[in-house]
Amino acid sequence: MASTLMLLANPYRPDPRVQLEARALADAGHRVAILAWSRDSGEKGASKDGAVEVVRVGPRCPFRSAAKMLTRLPMYWLAAMRAARGMQFDIVHSHDLDTLPAGLLIGRMSGRPVLYDAHELYAAMVKDDVGLMFRPLKAIESLLVRRADAVITVSDTLAQELSKGRAERPRVVMTSPDATPLTGAESRAVRERYGLSGFVVSYLGSLEPGRFVEQLLDAFTPEDGVTVLVAGKGSLEGAVEGIRERPHVRYVGSVSTEEALKLTAASDLVTAMMDPANPNNVVGTPGKVLNSMALARPYVTTRGLRIAEMTERVGSGLVAGYDRDSFRDAVLKVRKDPKALVEMGRRGRAHFESELSWAKSRGELLEAYDSLLGAR
């Protein structure tokens, strides 16, 4: 039985992609431990998520403070390296660039291979926060990625970007839910539990700039017959809380991955709008899109993204400009055509089953592990 040590620079409460991969590895017979950075609370100690061991280490660090991140991230690396000394593992699995320096050091000191799991192009993600440090960070990212023994990532486009300077193209492991559509009765039960009525347009995810949260909140009025459902947490939480009194807006706070899937399935239309000015958004595959397709729900995404090209080709959702009026017009128009909505959901589910399912990605993940273990 092989053992995996995952490094994660968030508290794992849980992180959907990390949980999906960790559980898949555990189900395949691997022992899995996650060294998670409890930066929200500084809490330390071990717990279990099913068969997965979660070990949290400090220090505390605000999520949106680039200055404190620069000083405290190395403290997480040192804490992770200290914790790793007392653990048995065959592979080091580093999630995102902010864990890779520690992952490479742990791998070299232990003689174990390092798998880099690129959730996004990291330098592009933090470009606005790092200012003049963007170009040096991009160069460091490229250098570190080449040092990993293997790389997996979330989309074909990212795999192409990350293959530069590597002998092998990264494998694509999409964060695809292992989920099926709800029955009508199940969907109605979810709606009743959350007090949802009318035409439900949902946003489920991080409440951060660049995710169309503020535009969504201002897109409709009670007279439109649209209920706006929002779930999640982040820096825009206060703005969402401030409009709770609007009768057509339902904010339900942060929910579990399982509950988010139920709310997706109970929605009439899912918001998957991302700012096209961010290079990561252009090349990424949002989890909201995969969740929607898995659950046969139509969605709205942004013109100019690669995922929008797939959306139009498959016919699984709507494409709108990244502005309130374009989004509003697209939603109100399709609201009058329930047959079109059903057909979008059907096409999305069919494409998901044939091309994007978790079964396919799970196979890629396990093959990456088998390749690393076989090379030892």
What band does 59 get if pLDDT is binned at 50, 70 and 90?
confident
- Grouping H, G, I as helix, E, B as strand and the rest as coil, residue 95 is strand
Question: Exposed, middle or buried: residue 20 (CB in 10 Å: 0-12, 13-18, 19+)?
Answer: buried
pLDDT confidence of residue 65: 61
The structure's pTM equals: 0.85
State the pLDDT at residue 247. Answer: 92
CATH 3.40.50.2000 intervals, the chain: 3-176+358-374, 184-356
Confidence class for position 122, pLDDT limits 50, 70, 90: confident
Cis peptide upstream of residue 222 (ω within 30 degrees of 0)? no
Percent of the chain with pLDDT over 90: 72
Using one digit for the tens of pLDDT, what is the confidence trace for 193-228?
999 999 999 999 999 999 999 999 999 999 999 999
pLDDT score at 110 = 96
Tally: H helices and E strands in the chain: 17, 14
Integer CA distances (angstroms), 297 to 236, 270, 302, in order: 26, 7, 17
Q: Which fold has domain 3-176+358-374?
A: Rossmann fold (3.40.50)
CA distances from 194 to 57, 181, 189, 200, 271 (A): 35, 18, 9, 12, 18
pLDDT tens digits, residue range 86-110? 899 999 999 999 999 999 999 999 9
CATH of 184-356, one of 3.30.499.10, 3.40.50.2000, 3.30.43.10, 3.40.50.970: 3.40.50.2000
DSSP symbol at 182: P
pLDDT of 72 reads 86
Mean pLDDT, rounded, for 310-330: 98
d(C-alpha 302, C-alpha 24), whole Å: 31
Nearest alpha carbon to residue 273 among 310, 299, 250, 291: 299
